Amino acid sequence: MSNAVKRILSKMLISVAIIVGLGACASSNDLVTVSGDVTYRERIALPADAVIKVQLKDVSLQDTKAIVLAEMMSENAMTPYSFEFQITRDQFQQGHTYAIGARIEVNGELWFINTQSYIVNIDEVQPVNVVVNKVGG
């Protein structure tokens, strides 16, 4: 192989390495981190078998069930409960609305749920502090 061919191949390999490296940097910047806490106002302790579930949902469509993009679930739940989702930006659709939903169940029975909407702005993500309210009396 001639020296000229070797130099060309070497330059091509360096170019490919640079492109791959830049691609790796771009993908880490394309992560959207949605985080926050779930709390409730009642002054009661949760039983040891309490389960907390937090979801990041696409709530854009009316009259249909929201699409769950990410979910965290924890047994032996205590509040405040911190959550964090890392999702690639390409999973979000332009013009859609995203929100956090949370619930606490004990033995499969719903005890607490969020009663207001906690919208997530994926372009300016701020920590989301979700307050869940007691169900029933």
User: Which H or E run contains 67?
Assistant: strand 67-75
Could you tell me which of 44, 47, 57, 29 has the C-alpha nearest to residue 118? Answer: 57
Across all residues in the chain, what is the average pLDDT? Answer: 83
User: Which H or E run contains 15?
Assistant: helix 3-29
This prediction has a pTM of 0.75
* Strand bridging mode 67-75 / 50-58: antiparallel
**Model confidence pLDDT, tens digit, residues 82-137:** 999 999 999 999 999 999 999 999 999 999 999 999 999 988 889 999 999 999 76
Could you tell me which of 102, 100, 101 has the C-alpha nearest to residue 120? Answer: 100
Average pLDDT over residues 41-45: 91
Q: How confident is the model at residue 15 (pLDDT cuts 50, 70, 90)?
A: very low
